Amino acid sequence: MVRPLNIAFIHPDLGIGGAERLVVDAAISLQKRGHRVVIYTMHHDLSHCFAETRDGTLDVRVGGNWLVPRSIGGRFHILCTILRSLMLARQIVNDSEQYDALFVDQLSAPIPLLKYTHAHIFFYCHFPDYLLARRDSLGQKLYRAPFDLLEEFTTGEADEIVVNSRFTQETFRKAFPHLSKIPKVLSPALNFEAYDRPVDSGDPLLRALLTEKRIVLSINRFERKKDIGLALQAFALCLQRNSATGNGAKRAAINNCCLVVAGGWDPRVSENTQYLKELDAQAKQLGLCTRTISPQRASKEALALLPDGAVGAPTILDDDDDIPTDQLASIDVLFLPSFTENQRAFLLSAARCIVYTPTNEHLGIVPLEAMYMRVPVVAADSGGPRETIQHGQTGYLCEPAEDDFAAAISKLLTMDDNKWRVMGDAGHDRVKLAFSLDTFGAKLEHLIVDMLQRPTHASVVLGVIATLFIIFVVALTLLLTWWR
């Protein structure tokens, strides 16, 4: 029997991405096992977060964001994020509560300062940031160099390091050759209760999604590394090939479909706003008719950042007979930025297939969600999806090329319904067996308890040295930036 532990989670931005879903599920799983859980974050927008973080299920505390901005003139994001994380760490150190363990993820920079809490530090690495940053010029390489060194050094200060897949484990070893630790693998899980809840059919926000068409669904944050453009290209090619060679029932099945591109969209993040506009322009260049639904409760400033012609979803139900029942009859591609959880549930329940385009994705929560909801997945044959999707049984793994993706999408759209249901059931059974929250919670608890049996990895003295190193890195970065 494990004694109740006091555990704090430290996560930079508590939005609606895959990393946030993992943190929320991990916190809930430990809470259900009798531990006291608190989540610290630098940003928590109640209109752009998971329900468990705003309905009282989890104790969320915001800090570290009152002095340093997210960026300076749209630049220096990593520098500002590190400084904000140090301010949040200082708040935690000064907190009167004593924690047994700190669950840190995404950003390792505050770990040395967090040593002053005398708690054991558990670091969950989704993917080395070192490999995500762009270095297209000498200036960018100089700018990133101290941060890359800082990431490796501070990551090594954790008492336990865990990654989300075998792919990330191998990538971690190559990215941080000076670290002797081999991280353990703890794959994310799904909170099945959240997906078993029935869709609220009375939600007026669903009206904009009502259609008689078959839905091809893409769920990803609006970031270029997610390669959502591949979904557009493959979908357009699918329609083009069908017009040229399709016949009978198969032609009708493909012609009568719509691509819905949904995902996290934050008006504060320039890449999100720019990329959505780029995708809308790309779809139109491919000859596809598009529509963008604006996020609920979006500010005037946020609405101005959406593609031209974006429309709002209805906020009340109306029995007006003039409103068409098929909202997507003339639409090929629907963009749905910052969709609600009920919209997500509706789309997963209605989709014919999920198109998951990132290459070398760390793991990918979306394929797990889709398979649990009995929706076959088409994904790039690389990274984490190789560990979750069973090719030909729960979906298809393809080369990241429009030809391959288009062929797989066409196959699922025209597949016999009984065979399609068999594939969906296989995905559901696989996720239920291998990715349950109960199993994840038990493994996480075991890893934390095992960590607590060992002395902390570094002394406070090393924490002081590491903190001074961080200050030196920041100063060096500013100097290099000024010099450039």
What is the token pair recorded at 139?
Answer: 């200036």
Q: How far is it, in rounded angstroms, from Cα 355 to Cα 413?
A: 12
SS3 state of residue 5: coil
What is the token pair recorded at 172?
Answer: 């971690």
Quick check: 83 pLDDT over 90?
Answer: no
Q: How far is it, in rounded angstroms, from Cα 223 to Cα 279?
A: 10
Confidence band (pLDDT; 50, 70, 90) for 242?
A: confident
Q: What is the mean pLDDT of the chain?
A: 87
Quick check: 138 pLDDT over 50?
Answer: yes
Q: What is the pLDDT of residues 167-191, one digit of tens each?
A: 999 989 888 888 888 899 999 898 8
Q: How far is it, in rounded angstroms, from Cα 84 to Cα 70?
A: 8
Contact 124, 86 (CB under 8 A): no
* Residue reference for tokens 């025209």: 414
The closest alpha carbon to 354, from 337, 369, 333, belongs to 369
The pLDDT assigned to 324 comes to: 56
What is the token pair recorded at 123?
Answer: 């670091």
The pLDDT assigned to 321 comes to: 47
What is the token pair recorded at 470?
Answer: 């961080």
Mean pLDDT for 322-339 is: 83
Quick check: 113 pLDDT over 50?
Answer: yes
Strand partners, 291: 334
Strand partners, 336: 262
SS3 state of residue 171: helix
Is this structure's pTM higher than 0.85?
no
The closest alpha carbon to 148, from 82, 246, 83, 204, belongs to 82
Q: What is the pLDDT of residues 203-217, one digit of tens each?
A: 999 998 999 999 999
Least confident of 292-306, 334-348, 364-378: 292-306
Q: What is the pLDDT of residues 264-315, one digit of tens each?
A: 898 988 899 999 999 999 999 999 999 999 988 888 898 999 999 888 876 6
Q: How far is CA 417 from the centre of its chain?
A: 31
The pLDDT assigned to 269 comes to: 87
